[in-house]
Structure 1
């Protein structure tokens, strides 16, 4: 791993870089708001098993519209669109439009108007994978606002827990902390769904960190 920052766990303390990490490389690849930049786009890991299962799961929900926040190269957006699901995606990388062939667009969680923009689109389901741990603690509230704005019915989220480590991980959090934060905002954990989805994941961090939430009024879920 090129560089790792010591995560901030449930506090407002700024993360500190690990001893011996390449600070110049870290600055080149990770922006101040947690977004990857430059050639870091080549470092994305995609989970084909999760993409297949997630596509089936979301398709079963019959959503009108889905948003993938922190979509990277657009891998999961393509998986959903292949099933006929209308899905948008954005990422903090400034070259997102070019990197995805025009499929997705650039947006940053530091934009104070982003939650309102997301809310105006009327998304039913939100996907946010490998993002939470990259967003600095001082932007966590803004990230949560965006997640809530994009999940009219439900949310599929992954959150790296303390000690996992990774390029630009600055806000690794216990799942209990994240669950509490989202329950405070009116979501309910759908453990049955995320346990099912985890069975199809090929990458170990998704098998451990994938979570599904629902609006209580959205009804039961099944994996098609």
Structure 2
């Protein structure tokens, strides 16, 4: 599916995972990407490269606050405590740094 356009799956999952996508789409499509994530899950696990990380095809490196704000517009709150715990576990298990360092967990208003 094209994450820069509305995606319809007609169901909601417990968790939506969006890793290594956001930095590869134009900034103007960021809001739609977030809408697609929040429309289809109660909780979202999300990574996005911050400014200066660099990488092949990175055209949209944004500070974490940018993404936190966009998810907030959809009623999703950043769970910094859970994000931190999972990042620590990932790092201790040898998960590549660009995933472990950039992970953010967002909880929707109806998340359990």
Give the TM-score range, shorter chain.
Answer: 0.7 to 0.9
Q: Does 1:109 align with 2:33?
A: no
Length-normalised TM-score, structure 2:
0.86
Larger Rg: 1
Runs of 4+ in 1 over 3 A off after TM superposition: none
If asked which structure has higher relative contact order (CA below 8 Å, sep 6+), I would say: 2
Whole-angstrom distance in 1 between the partners of 2:33 and 2:84: 24
Whole-angstrom distance in 2 between the partners of 1:164 and 1:144: 21
Secondary structure of the corresponding residue to residue 170 of structure 1: coil
CA RMSD of aligned residues (A): 1.5
Length-normalised TM-score, structure 1:
0.45
How many aligned residue pairs are there? 108
The unaligned stretches of length 5 or more in structure 2 are none
Whole-angstrom distance in 1 between the partners of 2:28 and 2:66: 16
Whole-angstrom distance in 1 between the partners of 2:37 and 2:57: 20
Q: CA deviation at 1:113?
A: 4.3
Whole-angstrom distance in 1 between the partners of 2:109 and 2:38: 13
Whole-angstrom distance in 1 between the partners of 2:45 and 2:38: 12
Whole-angstrom distance in 2 between the partners of 1:183 and 1:199: 24
Whole-angstrom distance in 1 between the partners of 2:31 and 2:73: 12
Q: Does 1:139 align with 2:29?
A: yes
Residues 29-52 of structure 1, C-alpha deviations (whole Å, 9 max, x = no match): xxxxxxxxxxxxxxxxxxxxxxxx
Whole-angstrom distance in 1 between the partners of 2:85 and 2:70: 23
